[in-house]
Structure 1
Amino acid sequence: MGAARSAETREDARLKAIYTAESAWRKAQRGGSDDENDETILPVLPSVDEATQQAKLVHWTKVMAQLDALKVEVLSPAEKVNYRVFRAQIAVLINGQKFRYYEMPVNSDSAFWSELSDPPINSFKTAEDYSHYLSQLNDTPRFFSEEVANMRAGLAHRFTPPKVTLEGRDVSIATIAEAKRAEDTPYWKPFATMPSSIPESRQGELRAEARTAIEQKIIPAYAVLLKFFREEYVPGAQEALAAESLPNGKAYYQAKILEYTTVDLTPEQIHEIGLHEMAGIHAEMLAAIQQTGFKGDFPAFLQYLRTDPQFYAKTPEELLMRAAYISKEFDGVSARYFGYLPRQRFAIRPVPPEIAPFYTSGRGGPGVYFVNTYDLPSRSLYSLPALTLHESAPGHAFQIPIAAEHKDLPKFRGAYISAYGEGWAVYCERLGTEMGIYHTPYETFGMLSYQAWRAARLVVDTGIHSQGWTREQARQYLRDNTALSEHEVDTEVDRYISWPGQALSYYLGELSILKERHKAEASLGAKFNIRAFHDAVLETGSVPLPVLEEHLDQWIAGGGVGPYPEMER
């Protein structure tokens, strides 16, 4: 026993040394930031040039070799989990470099420039923060030139998003490239209101430096980017939609499936799962329609929902206030479903106008729930409860802060794994039925439409990227099977086309959590505690689905006692 324990201790130490050193390397690569979600204002932007990308590949290949040399069977239970999470993370990073993901730093949903133009306002607390930000502003032309070089390399070997998904995406660049003053750009936001702890004289100096940096560095850099985007990148982008049409496309798409779902399924298997799930959800949707008293058929009901003014907010403020009310409804029942509640609260804000036309209906995370108030006739009120549970609490603005409170986990465990995070958020939509959040059959239908939307993604994503579906086929499938508005159908399909595999994570993640819950209910019977189950799901932080399922199986075998028993009674 002593020898076994000694071997475990030695191998644990080896693993810890590997991931500690690797985390320190990544921290240095990010200019001193502890993790990729850290909103500390750093004085530099990352290097993204070809030499840096190749150095990353060499580094992560060496790390993988070190991991493969470990004796996994003698690791302690906690370190076995760390090993599985870390190894999966390194495998994704290696694939990213091998398939040269960095040569496509833009898709229909997001881009490197839009991420920079939304500075984390709440992180600006000291004069040093502002000085660091000014260094970033002055470094932006260099950073943009490296990203453009990567995009040109992608153009050279047909590794670009499909051209159709880039139409109109130049607006977010033009908004800044054509600005007349620093104050007309989002980069000025941190300087509009500065902390009173900074002397007024120093505030004036910082504002003057910011005005110079934005007008002499930022706006010209965006102008160069705009010219490249309009004259070279979009005209030269590939016409084909499918990921499998890209260089080494089948392997590339399979790598994206593994990255986003964390499970080893083929496109064909996922497509069939989607078709099967859609049939079951459709039956639930028909039952909800019957409860409304509507007399027409399914297409007529969808048309009714998409066109009747009663289902849409009249003003952006109304939409935001409805979302706020729903989030407070959850607060009123949260203690019945969760033993552990996060300390961090969240704000509700409109999506910034420069990106709203191509943005999803909402997006949440630590500290904020963004609601898209652009094109109000596309933002249905009957779907808002499901959207709010997904993006705010108990979804992303709940789960991510809880994960951040697990201070005993290694830094790499802070990375977001889509299948876990999105699977949890979609599960929360279903949970809204038990929590009493849906007050009308229309709101229940909205939730079911969202479930259908996520199940439809399994069909549409694989249809586009491995079965030759056209854009119109994908759009029609969403029109026929969900209550999404025409605007949402268009933005969603373009998102799936330009972001292969990501859309698969949501429903497959939810299925994994539901499978474990059904198993727990059957095994534990009267001892099943919903609060303990939810706490057990959330205590791991983001992990691959096989790791989560193994963790929950062990929780069931141990009698279903949650990690915070004093809170779950």
Structure 2
Amino acid sequence: MKLTKGLALALLLATASPTLADAATDAAFKDIYSREWTWRMDQFDYDEDSAAGRTTLPDVDVKTQAARLAYWQNVMAQLDALDAKKLSPAAAVNYGVYRNQIATLIASQQYRDYEMPLNSDSSFWGDLASTGNAPFKTAKQYRNWIAQMNAVPRYFDQQTDNMKLGLARGFTPPKVTLQGRDSSVASVAQAKRAEDTVYYKPFVKMPASIAPAEQAQLRAEAVKAINDNVIPAHAKLLTYLKNDYIPNARVPLAAYSLPDGKAFYQSKIAEFTTLDLTPEQIHQIGLDEVAKIRAQMQQVMTQTGFKGDFPAFLHFLRTDPQFYTTDPQDLLNRAAWIAKQFDGKASTYFGHNPRGRFTIRPVPADIAPFYTAGRGGTGTYLLNTYDLPSRSLYALRALTLHESAPGHSWQMSLAQENKDMPDFRRKVYISAFGEGWALYAEKLGVEMGMYETPYDTFGMLSYQMWRAARLVVDTGIHSKGWTREQAQAFLRDNTALSNHEIETEVDRYIGWPAQALAYYLGEMSIEKSRAKAEAALGPKFNIRAFHDTVLAMGSVPLPVLEARVDEFIASGGVGPYPEEEK
């Protein structure tokens, strides 16, 4: 893999002679990242003790954005001024990860990503509303949530001003991907009572540890904040979206059609893949992998005994009632059962388990029609129960392994619990690593015996195909002029995804350039590293030690991951938790 300049430097330093290491240089580097991290958390009003993550809502206006760019550029100058060759090996790895992180932040500011704070899948108002799903436990957390609600008018006005700047220069999501996306704003704007909004949800059932009188006071303050600030701000935003923003959003789909579009798309490839690959290279990788997986799918189709060709089999999977449930709770229950089955296999494949656990919840109704099938994090696995005829049971096992354990919930919890790493590695998510790991977790399900029928296995392969096809579709749309219909047809012909999922997913790729590239390229990196370790170590290879080594890194660029596995091999396959990995 070709490396970016910063990552190539970091890997060179990480393998340099430790005799050059100088404690003063390590200390200077630590001072740089510690001060910047404290400043960064203050910028976003981050509160470690708040389930909602913030004490209030941050400023996002143009003046603040310019100040952030200047600050991060100054940090980069400080990093460049360090004699990085004098860093210890451990600090050199941190340097590579951190420098890549700062470079990504600078690029985002320079391309003014903040002028497009929404896409077909996510939005600033949706992200805010979703924080109300956090499990509030203390009165302080409730007060922080109320403070955020009181800040909504200012925050929404600043975001709207940024959207107006983006609209003026044609920097918007494509109009076709925004149709109906204002419904989640309308659900709040048109609410008759504060209690009917998603913002009031945390107050419906409050912890018994909060005294009844204080509960009543917090509820009253919440109702006032929602009525006085949240609902009016949503009404104002809804008017702007319906009358100005959506009607005048850009028509072309490609990122190449945006201002400085080719450079912008290339910057997003670097951000989401951490690799220096061109759209043409990624497109060809995708085509090659699609052909490989298609042959595997054909073999599994034969195992099912189906009499017919491949398109007929896909139609059968999309339409036969045996592959779907009609009860939302049944879908949730099945996912919970799958997750529990993994618990019984975890100790065979992992030496070190996270302390954190996750719950399973349905995707909120106001965003479910446009949301992906599922999304996992440290505390919650969101499962989409909207339009059940599009939620196949044969793919549920792969989806659950990806989003919960040993995928996102597992990996993120382990990262945040690793106190030996600096915060910028514990708490920052790099898509190529995180999504690559989660996709690897799906395929690991084969070894773990998680796929009980050929249909389950086909569902896993369909999900592998889905991510490989993304390499083709994303680059096709953003660099080759593919139409929306052309992208949908490619997924329809090659995966067993439902038509509803195909439509929402393609809109997601259109509105979120290059994010879809992270998954398969990340998985390829992990699989390549594992194969290298297995070949080099032979009988000394310990699958638990390998997995622990990968996950103990937090979230890192792919070249840094591969360099760490080289160290794992050089150590004779000793993982970070030898006693747990025996």
Q: Same fold (TM over 0.5)?
A: yes
Report the TM-score when normalising by structure 2: 0.95
Query: Residues 56, 75 of structure 1: CA spacing in aligned structure 2 closer, same or farther, 3 A cutoff?
Result: same
Alignment of 1:241 onto 2:253:
yes
Q: Which runs of 5+ in 2 are unaligned?
A: 1-16
The one-letter code matched in structure 1 to 2:308 is G
Using the alignment, how far apart are the partners of 2:297 and 2:390 within structure 1? 20
Q: Tell me the equivalent position of 1:494.
A: 507
Q: Give the drift of 1:120.
A: 4.4
Alignment of 1:2-401 (within 5 A): 8-33=22-47, 39-40=51-52, 42-401=54-413
Q: Give the drift of 1:17.
A: 0.8
Q: Is contact 2:20–2:86 with CA below 8 Å preserved after alignment?
A: no
Using the alignment, how far apart are the partners of 1:431 and 1:41 within structure 2? 33
Alignment of 1:462-481 (within 5 A): 462-481=475-494
Using the alignment, how far apart are the partners of 1:131 and 1:545 within structure 2? 40
Alignment of 1:520 onto 2:496:
no
Q: Tell me the equivalent position of 2:441.
A: 428
What SS is found at the alignment partner of 2:497?
A: coil
Q: Tell me the equivalent position of 1:485.
A: 498
Using the alignment, how far apart are the partners of 2:435 and 2:61 within structure 1? 31
What SS is found at the alignment partner of 2:580?
A: helix
Alignment of 1:509 onto 2:522:
yes
Q: Give the drift of 1:216.
A: 1.6
Cα deviation code 1:427-459 (max 9, x no counterpart)? 011100000000111110000000000000000
Cα deviation code 1:117-151 (max 9, x no counterpart)? 12345552232322222222111100000000000
Q: Which runs of 5+ in 1 are unaligned?
A: none
The one-letter code matched in structure 2 to 1:338 is F
Using the alignment, how far apart are the partners of 2:212 and 2:334 within structure 1? 39
The one-letter code matched in structure 2 to 1:463 is G
Q: Is contact 1:319–1:373 with CA below 8 Å preserved after alignment?
A: yes
Report the TM-score when normalising by structure 1: 0.97
Cα deviation code 1:145-189 (max 9, x no counterpart)? 000000000001000000000001011110100000011101111
Q: Tell me the equivalent position of 2:547.
A: 534
Q: Give the drift of 1:27.
A: 1.8
Using the alignment, how far apart are the partners of 2:46 and 2:435 within structure 1? 29
Using the alignment, how far apart are the partners of 1:372 and 1:103 within structure 2? 29
Using the alignment, how far apart are the partners of 1:4 and 1:158 within structure 2? 51
The one-letter code matched in structure 2 to 1:179 is A
Cα deviation code 1:28-56 (max 9, x no counterpart)? 21224359xx7355432100000000000
Alignment of 1:461 onto 2:474:
yes
Using the alignment, how far apart are the partners of 1:381 and 1:4 within structure 2? 53
Q: Is contact 1:119–1:190 with CA below 8 Å preserved after alignment?
A: no
The one-letter code matched in structure 2 to 1:531 is R
The one-letter code matched in structure 2 to 1:18 is I
Query: Residues 217, 560 of structure 1: CA spacing in aligned structure 2 closer, same or farther, 3 A cutoff?
Result: same
Query: Residues 460, 4 of structure 1: CA spacing in aligned structure 2 closer, same or farther, 3 A cutoff?
Result: closer
Using the alignment, how far apart are the partners of 1:529 and 1:129 within structure 2? 43
Using the alignment, how far apart are the partners of 2:245 and 2:561 within structure 1? 41
Q: Is contact 1:41–1:133 with CA below 8 Å preserved after alignment?
A: no
What SS is found at the alignment partner of 2:59?
A: coil
Q: Tell me the equivalent position of 1:443.
A: 456
Q: Is contact 1:394–1:425 with CA below 8 Å preserved after alignment?
A: yes
Cα deviation code 1:179-214 (max 9, x no counterpart)? 000111011111111222222222222211211111
Using the alignment, how far apart are the partners of 1:381 and 1:146 within structure 2? 43
% of aligned pairs identical?
62
Q: Is contact 2:474–2:510 with CA below 8 Å preserved after alignment?
A: yes
What SS is found at the alignment partner of 1:360?
A: coil
Query: Residues 8, 201 of structure 1: CA spacing in aligned structure 2 closer, same or farther, 3 A cutoff?
Result: same
Higher mean alpha-carbon deviation, 251-260 vs 133-142, is at 133-142
The one-letter code matched in structure 2 to 1:269 is Q
Higher mean alpha-carbon deviation, 126-135 vs 70-79, is at 126-135
Using the alignment, how far apart are the partners of 1:210 and 1:346 within structure 2? 27
Q: Give the drift of 1:318.
A: 1.1
Q: Is contact 1:34–1:411 with CA below 8 Å preserved after alignment?
A: no
Using the alignment, how far apart are the partners of 2:165 and 2:231 within structure 1? 24
Q: Is contact 2:72–2:102 with CA below 8 Å preserved after alignment?
A: yes
Using the alignment, how far apart are the partners of 2:93 and 2:464 within structure 1? 30
